[in-house]
Amino acid sequence: MSRVVAVGRFDGVHRGHQHLLTEARRCAPGLPVTAYTFPPRGPSLLTLDAKVSLLGNHADEVIVVSWEQVQNMTSAVFLRDELAGRLGAVAVAVGPDHRFGRGRTGSLATLHRLAPQLGLAVHVIEPLRLEGEVVSSRRIRDLITCGDVAQAASLLGRPVWLAGMPTPGAKLARRLGYPTVNLDPFPNLVPPRPGVYAAWAQWPGGEGKSLFYIGDRPTFPDLPSSAEIHLLAPPKGEVDGPVEVHLLKFIRPDKRFDAEGTLVQQIGHDRALAEEMLEGTPSPSRLLGEEELRSPGAGP
């Protein structure tokens, strides 16, 4: 089948990626658009299943190929055997800095030199810029680690996302009067700055506005670090997993309190702020598909 192919890691499927896929469709009208991507590797913004789900909103087809399958292909072999040969691509859409092939030795110049021999049209898409800066996964990861989830969301086109499975906790939050669901985050997701956030939480049986905390619990140094949600309204039934957490606003950094009572007062203040921040906020779209709901955290 003839198609236009866009190749990339597509980490986050942010607004820049969406722009690339939209322009690919515009440049090759009548051709289906294929997003050709790879499993997450290293700290990532999405699990594989969530990435495929989001890419499916912007491409006609999503093809996931293991890194091992292509990492030793030269740029010439990748274009000839993989894109033009196996996939039947007649056009490729890339950004001006796109690299491909073994050791990332293939460049735009390589593509322009080899593509005509293979009957491949090359469409170079200028990157999307917001406020004068290129929208990139690296920039978004940096914003998340600094706690600026609002700015990260503006680049993603959706809230910052993470997910995890409920896990037994120390019952500390219940004792403090603010019961939480402790989470074991899916591996390799970019961790946000330690602290407290206003968030939406979603699980297979329900959803709700919440406070999200991630950190080392410095007020209780004998306890391990934690990631947990406190639902602003009691859930109907048990919160089972996996739980998706959409971070909407950063409330405050993690800190040590001199007494439990002071911490309790602060949590009450955090909760009031979260209620105010989340008022009128619609429920975000869920990102996990049926496959990951059955096998949470799948994908390297």
- Are 155 and 204 members of one domain? yes
Q: What is the pLDDT of residues 213-222, one digit of tens each?
A: 999 999 999 9
Q: What is the pLDDT of residues 154-200, one digit of tens each?
A: 999 999 999 999 998 777 777 788 889 999 999 999 999 999 999 99
The strand pairing partners of 7, in sequence order, are 36
The strand pairing partners of 181, in sequence order, are 229
Q: Rounded to 5 degrees, what are φ and ψ at 90?
A: -115, -5
Residue 45 maps to a domain:
yes
- Are 229 and 254 members of one domain? yes
Residue 142 maps to a domain:
no
- Are 286 and 167 members of one domain? yes
Determine the Cα–Cα distance for residues 233 and 164; give it in Å rounded to an integer.
20
Determine the Cα–Cα distance for residues 115 and 78; give it in Å rounded to an integer.
11
Q: What is the CATH number of the domain that holds 185?
A: 2.40.30.30
- Are 115 and 198 members of one domain? no
Cα–Cα nearest to 152, from 57, 14, 10:
14
- Are 110 and 214 members of one domain? no
Determine the Cα–Cα distance for residues 266 and 260; give it in Å rounded to an integer.
10
- Are 61 and 120 members of one domain? yes
What DSSP designation does 200 have?
E
Q: What is the CATH number of the domain that holds 77?
A: 3.40.50.620
Q: Which residue has the tokens 């495929």?
A: 52
- Are 125 and 176 members of one domain? no
- Are 165 and 281 members of one domain? yes
What total number of domains does the chain contain? Answer: 2
Q: Which residue has the tokens 């899916």?
A: 186
Residue 249 maps to a domain:
yes
The residues, any chain, with a CB within 8 Å of residue 271's CB and separated by 6 or more, are 178, 211, 230, 232
pLDDT in tens, the chain (300 residues): 789 999 999 999 999 999 999 999 998 889 999 999 999 998 999 999 999 999 999 999 999 999 999 989 999 999 999 999 999 999 999 999 998 888 888 889 999 999 999 999 999 999 999 988 999 999 999 999 999 999 999 999 999 999 999 998 777 777 788 889 999 999 999 999 999 999 999 999 899 999 999 999 999 999 899 999 999 998 888 898 899 999 999 999 999 999 989 999 999 999 999 999 999 999 999 998 655 555 554 443
**Domain range spanning residue 90?**
3-133
Determine the Cα–Cα distance for residues 101 and 39; give it in Å rounded to an integer.
17
Tokens coding 64 = 């996931």
Is this model's pTM higher than 0.85 or not?
yes
Domain end position, chosen among 133, 163, 181: 133
Residue 83 maps to a domain:
yes
Domain end position, chosen among 106, 133, 160: 133
Give the pLDDT score at 170: 75
- Are 72 and 96 members of one domain? yes
Residue 68 maps to a domain:
yes
Q: Are 238 and 215 in contact (CB under 8 A)?
A: no
Strands 226-231 and 181-185: antiparallel
Q: Rounded to 5 degrees, what are φ and ψ at 208?
A: 180, 160
